[in-house]
Amino acid sequence: MTIGTKAPAAPVALSFDFELDAPPAKVWRALTVPEFVAKWLTARIDGEPAPSDPREGPSSRPAPVSLRLLTAEPGRSVRYLWREEEGSLPPSIVTFRITPSGSGGTRFRVVHETSGRVLTQRRPANHNAPRLLLAA
């Protein structure tokens, strides 16, 4: 599915798939240990301060993000409430899912949802609700 002016759909989620060289256990730590998450995502989890990464210049730095852990299935998937500290973007939900790939690496999927439900509910949106998924 693509977005265009001719047949625009209602986009509710973006989905990305990546292949990583590292094994799943290592990737899992990078996705869940606050110190590591701060490094690659410039995000802080549950109010911990985000240390800056001196290798990245100010121009390339994305707006700081704060995350709140919603659910986790250890070694497989983790779901965060995603809040931008600057700007007017509403909270959204990010899900990381990892599976072993044949070559000892990791298949890494990111799903970023713009569900308005997170504004009013503490729990993540109902998984069974039909929703559109846009492959990026």
Give the nearer residue to other proteins in terms of CB position, either 14 or 70.
14
d(CA 1, CA 11): 10
Give the nearer residue to other proteins in terms of CB position, either 11 or 75.
11
The contact pattern for other proteins, residues 66-95, with x = CB under 8 A and - = no contact, is ----------------------xxx-x---
b/e burial code for range 64-91 (CB count within 10 A of at least 16 → b): bbbbeebeeeeeebbbbbbbbeeeeeeb
Binding residue for other proteins, selected from 22, 70, 72, 81, defined by CB under 8 A? 22
The contact pattern for other proteins, residues 37-56, with x = CB under 8 A and - = no contact, is --xxxx-------------x
CB 23 within 8 A of CB 98: no
Give the nearer residue to other proteins in terms of CB position, either 54 or 119.
119
The site that binds other proteins (CB under 8 A) totals a number of residues, namely: 45
Binding residue for other proteins, selected from 51, 99, 116, 133, defined by CB under 8 A? 116
In the 8-state DSSP scheme, what is residue 133? -
Adjacent-strand bridge partners of 33: none
Q: Which two tokens stand for residue 122?
A: 């503490």
List own/partner pairs for 68-73 with CB under 8 A and 24 or more apart: 69/45, 70/123, 70/124, 71/124, 72/32
Q: Binding residues for other proteins, per CB under 8 A?
A: 3, 5, 7-12, 14, 16, 18, 20-23, 26-27, 29-30, 36, 39-42, 56, 62, 88-90, 92, 108, 110, 112, 114-117, 119, 125, 129-132, 134, 136
